[in-house]
């Protein structure tokens, strides 16, 4: 049961880090990127142990660096990655992408980098059978694959939005059906934000 709550919490906290208001909170606290990283690591280690903290911080950092490097390639200035304990991390864009293609490019860079980050853990786990590498694989898959669901504001929602924002409605339906089967608060929060975006789409002229 404890492992299940850790898994759910990890996904939820990471996704919460996508919210724009977290950047304002980080600025208010005046936390530098490095200081916030160490604070988050220390708190994760106290609650879940240092190995979990290392894996989680590493995976979140690489994922966010994917977004950051993609933004830089497109000439879009960003903030540094700010870690917020038990919430995740955020890299804010100081200028919006000029096109839907740029938006999708920035969106898929995070899951792409994040997936590449945990792939080396597979041979390490097979060779050593060390549970730590299994933890890295599990967390990496949860963070990055879950984030590809076609629901706004997940990265997957931003990607399919290039094809058609109407796909968000199908993502919401699928997510709602899964929530009925296995209800949890984190998915409910994501569906709420997705529904708000879809409503905005319907009401827009």
Query: What does pTM read for this prediction?
Result: 0.76
pLDDT in tens, 51-80: 999 999 999 999 999 999 999 999 998 888
> Which of 120-124, 145-149, 156-160 is modeled with the greatest confidence?
120-124
- The whole-angstrom separation of Cα 32 and Cα 22 is 14
């Amino acid at each position: 049961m404890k492992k299940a709550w850790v898994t759910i919490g990890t996904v939820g906290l990471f996704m919460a880090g996508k919210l724009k208001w977290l950047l304002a909170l980080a600025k208010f606290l005046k936390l530098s990127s490095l200081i916030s990283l160490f604070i988050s690591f220390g708190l994760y280690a106290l609650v879940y142990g240092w190995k979990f903290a290392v894996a989680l911080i590493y995976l979140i950092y690489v994922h966010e660096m994917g977004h950051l490097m993609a933004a830089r390639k497109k000439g879009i200035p960003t903030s540094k990655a700010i870690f917020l304990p038990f919430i995740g991390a955020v890299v804010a864009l100081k200028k919006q992408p000029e096109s839907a293609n740029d938006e999708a490019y920035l969106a898929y860079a995070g899951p792409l980098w994040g997936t590449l980050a945990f792939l080396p853990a597979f041979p390490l786990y097979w060779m050593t059978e060390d549970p730590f590498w299994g933890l890295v694989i599990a967390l990496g898959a949860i963070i990055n694959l879950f984030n590809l669901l076609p629901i706004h504001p997940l990265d997957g929602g931003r990607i399919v939005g290039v094809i058609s924002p109407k796909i968000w409605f199908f993502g919401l339906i699928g997510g709602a059906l899964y929530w009925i089967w296995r209800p949890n608060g984190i998915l409910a929060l994501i569906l709420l934000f997705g529904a708000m975006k879809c409503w905005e789409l319907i009401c827009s002229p």
